[in-house]
Amino acid sequence: MKAFMLHFALEFRAALRNRNLLLMNYLLPLGFYLLIGGMMVQINPFFGDQMIPAMVILTVLSGVIMGLPTNLVEAREAGILRSFRVNGLQSGTLIAIPALANALHVCLTALVITVSAPLIFKVPAPVDWPMYLLVFLLTLFANSGLATLIGVITRSGQMAILWQQLLFIPSMILSGLMVPLTLMPDWGQKLSLMLPATYAMAAFQGSAYEGETLWYAPYGMLLLFVGGVLGFVLASRLFSWDNQNDVQRHRVVLALVAMIPYLLGALLLV
Amino acid sequence: MADPAIEVHGLSKRYGDHAALDQVDFSVRRGEIFGLLGPNGAGKTTTLECLEGLRLPDAGRLRVMGIDPTRERHKLRQVMGVQLQTGSLPAYFTIREMIRLFSAYHEVNPDWAVTERLGLGNLLNTQYQALSTGQKRRLSLALATLHQPAVLLLDEPTAGLDVGARIALHELMRELRAQGTTILLSTHDMAEAETMADRVAILLQGRIVAVGTPRELTATGAGLTKVTVRTINNSLRAFTHPQIRQSQQQDEYAVFYTTEPGPVVTAIMHHIQTEADELVDLRVERPSLEERFLELTRTAASDV
């Protein structure tokens, strides 16, 4: 446990020296929050009601989806995982440490946004703080599971970027962060339900802000939890120490099992 | 006699249709430096990776200090230190952080003395990404020896090192051997194997083709001893002897190749005396491990 805690602390500190992770965990979400967030409040007064959840979800997407997989893939490609393995580290440790260290960075940025937004932009704070915290942690958990899975199954940095973009860009456009789901066509709503960010946004609105949503918000929270569990379980099952070893076939197909909760959501909720 | 530190029996490993290792057998005695020699692609790294528990063999029995690397990985880590050929470490961790981290995982106190000995003492706060190739290799060795393992596996440890770093690393290996550490050294540097290893095995195309001390291996070959002589009057220009296989003139030197250097040198000295000539320089060079290695490589190639 002592080694695990030390490793976690070192990983957290090392991320502060990594320009890419600094950008994804702090500069991009905070810059976006200050520039675009402020602008959106001026353009669309209704955006204020959802500004904190939207910016917090953006922070999770940026820090976790854009930051975590590349880090894992690079560690495998460079032979870092092999070095750890011959020194006795378990695969579970190497999955958990980056995810936890990354989560702590995201928590710090989210905390800054949550505390400062009502003061700077005069936007409403969450009504139900415990639910706000719970939804945030579920959002972080679900996305971390998915990001870790992407980091585990992709064989190259370029491939990881492709998967990251496949989640990040649609999440920004379709999940209700910038445009409310109710304004989207039916097909757009269905498509958006394949994204964890959509359930997170609805859960924030329904549970933490006690607003109206298109479905019962706790269902979405349950799907986020199941999605996160599946992500981490599959990541640990499909984990490989290097690209040279006998790679399990159909890894991508197996990894897609992690999307089943969201597929069910798309079929059953709207 | 104590059990061998490393035992490899019938080790085989295939990658698709390619047999990387085919019935490999060797054992390493406790406290010796054992060189595993072979050209690129011979199967050295695969052998080491099977012993390290990084790769599952298709067949064969492996033991490291009595431990099965395929089943008892946790126990294996306690007795084995590994320096990987292709391993790397987190770019943004400093040397100090990595020594602390790996010590914590091995449940030992950080050994700062080893960093001093390997010339890393003044680089403790330097991040891994800023280290040179030689410094990275030295750090890798430092990390492999932190928990004072009984067996150390080194995969091309001196590749990319400058002369100074190479000598320092060889000294450290000798020190470790003196302390009882068994070292399995994989290399394609024949000179290194000849000077460092107590015994060597030559691996060609996934098979062990020779095992023994460097001296034994060179003695079993058809290698010829080279006798180079220079005299004032160059009286050896037309010198012949039944045991000289080949002779040639190189600048002012007469060069003879023989399997029996003793009688040939005696005859040369007698000839110089008879001819009232005077000896300027005489060198006797025994066949090297490299020559024996090349001979075996040629034989293996012609067998295919």
Domains, chain B, with CATH or none? 6-213 (3.40.50.300), 224-286 (3.30.70)
* DSSP string covering chain A: -HHHHHHHHHHHHHHTT-HHHHIIIIIHHHHHIIIIIHHHHHH-TTHHHHHHHHHHHHHHIIIIITTHHHHHHHHHHHTHHHHHHHTT--HHHHHHHHHHHHHHHHHHHHHHHHHHHHHHT-PPPPS-HHHHHHHHHHHHHHHHHHHHHHHHH-SSHHHHHHHHHHHHHHHHHHSSSSS-GGGS-HHHHHHHTTSHHHHHHHHIIIIIS----SS-HHHHHHHHHHHHHHHHHHHHHH--S-SSS-PPTTHHHHHGGGGHHHHHHHHHT-
CB A126, CB A208: distance < 8 Å = yes
Distance from CA of A184 to the nearest CA of B (A): 44
The total number of structural domains that make up chain A: 1
Neighbouring residues of A108: CB distance < 8 A, sequence distance ≥ 6: none
pLDDT score at B190: 82
For chain A, give the number of residues.
270
* CA dist., res. B36 & res. B156, Å (int): 10
CB contact under 8 A, B87 and A82: yes
* CA dist., res. B72 & res. A44, Å (int): 62
Contacts of B97 in chain A (CB under 8 A): 10, 13-14
pLDDT score at A266: 87
Distance from CA of B24 to the nearest CA of A (A): 20
CB contact under 8 A, B140 and A83: yes
Contacts of A75 in chain B (CB under 8 A): 90
Complex prediction ipTM: 0.85
CB contact under 8 A, A87 and B140: no
Contacts of A249 in chain B (CB under 8 A): none
CB contact under 8 A, A80 and B73: no
CB contact under 8 A, B86 and A89: no
pLDDT score at A246: 46
Per-residue pLDDT of chain B (304 residues; tens, 9 = 90+): 568 999 999 999 988 888 889 999 999 999 999 999 888 888 898 999 999 988 889 999 999 999 999 888 888 988 999 998 878 899 999 999 999 999 999 889 988 888 888 888 899 999 999 998 888 888 998 999 998 899 999 988 887 778 887 888 888 889 999 999 999 999 888 888 888 999 999 998 899 988 989 888 877 666 678 889 999 988 888 898 898 888 888 888 999 988 888 899 999 999 999 999 999 999 888 777 777 777 777 776 666 5
Helices (H), chain B: 44-52, 73-79, 95-106, 112-117, 133-145, 163-178, 190-196, 214-220, 261-274, 289-303
Q: Determine the structural domain holding residue A162 and report its residue range.
A: 2-268
Write the residue in B54, B74, B143 that is nearest to A82 by C-beta: B54
Reduce the DSSP state of residue B133 to 3 states and report it: helix
- A4, A12, A83, best to mutate vs chain B, most B CBs in 10 Å: A83
Mean pLDDT by 10 residues, chain A (270 residues): 92 91 92 86 81 94 93 89 87 92 96 94 92 96 96 89 92 87 84 93 90 84 96 91 61 87 86
CB contact under 8 A, A83 and B73: no
Write the residue in B55, B90, B102 that is nearest to A87 by C-beta: B102
Contacts of B84 in chain A (CB under 8 A): 79, 82-83, 86
Q: Give the nearest chain A residue to B74 (CA atoms).
A: A88
Task: Inform me whether the C-beta atom of residue A15 falls under 8 Å from chain B C-beta atoms.
Answer: yes
CB contact under 8 A, A88 and B104: no
Instruction: Supply φ then ψ for residue A156, to 5 degrees.
Output: -145, 160
pLDDT score at B51: 93
At A163-212, the pLDDT tens digits run 999 999 999 989 888 888 888 888 888 889 999 999 999 999 998 988 88
Instruction: Supply φ then ψ for residue A121, to 5 degrees.
Output: -105, 0
- Residue B221, token pair as written in the block: 């070959």
Instruction: Supply φ then ψ for residue B248, to 5 degrees.
Output: -160, 165
